[in-house]
């Protein structure tokens, strides 16, 4: 994390996307909030040869964009797929793409189109939809089986639901959760801790302290047990938690209204994991990821290898998991995604320009609408749209 503040030739200004929350960029030259923060996709519930995972891509208050990703985890080709789930009353799909989505009351069904039903082993396909309401999907089924890829072995029952988590030691930025153990005929291996439906940790014991939360914010936690065959049981009863503080209305974890911002350079010796091990991740509120290039009046990728191609080993990775060759996103972008899953208060801005990559700003100001569209299209690329919350323009 570099602490250098680049020189600027323009005074700060800001603009927001319609319907999105305004965020203060502090020392940045221009901050344009984009997609709302997104939790990492979490498995729903089991299929022997395929999985279906749900992600809320964005949320603008009166509605949201959701996405399901179906992946063939088996050894034979899938010829078709059908995903089913339930929404609570008041939440519904209003439009969809890359799948045919129908419903019967609160039960929703999505079927593949003619061109995207066949999935070779290891392949995946995503389809999306816009919706109204605040509810989350439940009871997911993929081709009639459950959706999280857990095994179903004859004579091996799935584990029971763990006890309802008890919250203690609640602070501005953390909460300790404790629950009664689940039971299983072959033994419980571990537990998935879920915050607002998204898995935030997998632990072997019956307690977990979740850090990196936002002051004065409501969260809901459940716990799901996994047995030795990796089968999942039903979720525990939900526990609502509100972190302390937050009266100042600011965006930082302490709620004191201050923006704690630093630059993370894609060419430096540091990894995103260093933000965690140094303790910085719990203190900062904004990261300027430096730098993207400005060429011919457009925002462009600066260093594709560092940004989204480089593989990180397990000891270099934020969550301790090594990159694999066929994952859709690697590099610093994927590490920032993992960081935001653990520290949801952090907002990441993609900074364009800098000392050597400001040459295209002259053309940009000649057609600001085209420039803005190019930046929007790049930052909203489906591969990393959930990583960034806005941009910073550093014209030097």
Active-site residue set: 396
CB 256 within 8 A of CB 229: no
> What is the number of H-type helices and E-type strands within the chain?
5, 24
CA distance linking residue 35 with residue 58, whole number of Å: 6
For tokens 């969809």, name the residue. Answer: 96
Candidates 125, 65, 58, 132; CA nearest to 98 is: 125
Q: Are 4 and 263 in contact (CB under 8 A)?
A: yes
- Cα→Cα distances 98→70, 101, 103, 218, 368, Å: 12, 9, 16, 34, 33
- What does the alpha-carbon distance between residue 339 and residue 275 come to, in Å, rounded to a whole number? 9
Residue 160: how many other CB atoms lie within 10 Å: 16
Asked if residue 161 lies in contact with residue 225, where contact means CB atoms within 8 angstroms, the answer is yes
- 127 closest CA partner among 89, 96, 106: 96
């Amino acid at each position: 994390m570099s602490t250098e503040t680049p020189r600027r030739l323009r005074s700060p200004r800001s603009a927001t996307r319609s319907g999105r929350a305004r965020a203060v960029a502090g020392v940045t030259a221009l901050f344009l909030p984009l997609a709302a923060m997104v939790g990492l996709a979490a498995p729903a519930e089991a299929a022997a040869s395929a999985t279906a995972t749900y992600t809320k891509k964005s949320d603008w208050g009166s509605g949201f964009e959701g996405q399901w990703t179906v992946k063939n985890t088996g050894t034979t080709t899938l010829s078709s797929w059908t995903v089913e789930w339930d929404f609570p009353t008041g939440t519904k799909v209003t439009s969809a793409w890359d799948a045919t989505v129908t419903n019967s009351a609160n039960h929703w069904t999505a079927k593949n189109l003619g061109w995207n039903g066949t999935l070779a082993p290891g392949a995946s396909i995503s389809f999306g939809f816009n919706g109204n309401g605040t509810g989350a999907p439940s009871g997911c089924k993929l081709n009639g089986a459950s959706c999280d890829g857990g095994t179903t072995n004859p004579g091996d029952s799935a584990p029971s639901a763990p006890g309802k988590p008890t919250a203690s030691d609640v602070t501005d930025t953390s909460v300790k959760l404790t629950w009664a153990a689940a039971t299983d005929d072959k033994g419980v291996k571990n537990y998935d801790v879920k915050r607002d439906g998204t898995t935030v940790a997998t632990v072997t014991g019956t307690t977990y302290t979740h850090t990196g939360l936002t002051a004065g914010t409501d969260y809901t936690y459940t716990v799901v047990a996994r047995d030795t065959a990796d089968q999942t049981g039903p979720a525990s009863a939900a526990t609502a938690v509100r972190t302390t503080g937050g009266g100042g209305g600011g965006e930082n974890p302490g709620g004191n209204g201050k923006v704690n911002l630093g630059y993370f350079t894609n060419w430096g010796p540091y990894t995103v994991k260093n933000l965690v091990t140094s303790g910085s991740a719990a203190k900062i509120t904004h990261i300027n990821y430096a730098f993207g290039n400005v060429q011919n009046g457009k925002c462009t990728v600066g260093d594709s290898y560092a940004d989204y191609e480089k593989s990180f080993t397990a000891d270099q990775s934020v969550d301790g998991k090594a990159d694999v060759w066929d994952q859709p996103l690697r590099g610093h972008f994927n590490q920032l995604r993992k960081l935001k899953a653990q520290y949801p208060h952090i907002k990441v801005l993609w900074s364009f320009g800098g000392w050597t990559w400001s040459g295209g700003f002259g053309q940009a100001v000649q057609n600001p609408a085209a420039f803005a569209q190019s930046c929007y299209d790049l930052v909203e690329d489906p591969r990393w749209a959930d990583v960034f919350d806005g941009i910073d323009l550093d014209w030097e």
